[in-house]
Amino acid sequence: MPRLKTGSIATYIVPTSVQDAGEVYNLTYKGQDADSFEGSATKINMTTASQVTNDTFEIEALQVNGVVDYGYIISAYSGGRGANAFVLNDQEQAGGKTYQIISSMQARQVVITPEGGEPIVARYVPFTQSTDGKQEPKFRLPEGQTLKSGVTYTVTSDWANLENASFTAKSFDSLVVASAQAVSETSIEVTLDQDPGDELFSGRSVTLTSPSGDVLTATYKYSSRKGATGVFDLTNDGKLTPGTTYTINPVGDWSIASSVTLTLE
């Protein structure tokens, strides 16, 4: 989606798939030829890849190195970024520094290769590219796969340069669900035993099982986390039955829940 730059009335940041260097691309707008440009081979300069859970890792980018997430410089988000928001001019400069811009990461992916093993495609976890004041987009292994403790992994990408691209995996304790409560017949709140400090709920689901064995599934509502609590919405038009007590269980190994229940009054 094109995003209007803060301080502009007509300049937009438009994410593209990876361009071929030297290739001429023609831009059309509402079916009319608008302009053309030459493709660039320039990659975003990221710094360090590091593990955050047993199936998820992140890639750090630093503003001090002249890399800024688009969330800080587009008008749609500027109000929520407070003093961290700023304006880039037409040369992508501010305060005498020229910036690279990380545009929307939707549909982005990277390749992570275990030492002596086969490459694995890891996909971007939505709404994790700039949270809690950090520029650290998260990437997750395919469902059912985990990072093996003691194995060294190297991350490569066709859109980014990584200064420190390798890390040695370790075992992470699963997040712990402390409680859950019904918000409505189609939504619940899940609270962990401690604030994960990031969007680690993103892309996760839980099941709700009734005493009769009926199972509902709820998925995390992106950007709904407040501290240790996140909102999960029921899928497939599911609804909670008033007066029924449901047992909560995370889907997969991202979290554990011991005898956590909820009832819609």
At 12, the amino acid letter reads Y
- Max Cα-Cα span within the chain: 65
pLDDT of the residue at 14: 92
Task: Give the tokens for residue 221.
Answer: 């509502």
Report residue 31 as tokens.
Answer: 């079916």
Nearest to 251 by CA among 178, 126, 143: 143
The predicted pLDDT at position 93 comes to 96
For residues 139 and 126, the answer to whether their CB atoms sit within 8 Å is no
Q: What pLDDT shows up at residue 264?
A: 95
Q: Any idea what the Cα angle at residue 13 is, between residues 9 and 14, rounded to 5°? A: 130
The pTM score is 0.90
Answer for the pair 230, 221: CB distance below 8 angstroms, yes or no.
yes
pLDDT in tens, the chain (265 residues): 899 999 999 999 999 999 999 999 999 999 999 999 999 999 999 999 999 999 999 999 999 999 999 999 999 998 888 889 999 999 999 999 999 999 999 989 999 999 999 999 999 999 999 988 899 999 999 998 999 999 999 999 999 999 999 999 999 999 999 999 999 999 999 999 999 878 889 999 999 999 999 999 999 999 899 999 999 999 999 999 999 999 999 999 899 998 999 999 8
- Tokens coding 3: 């995003």
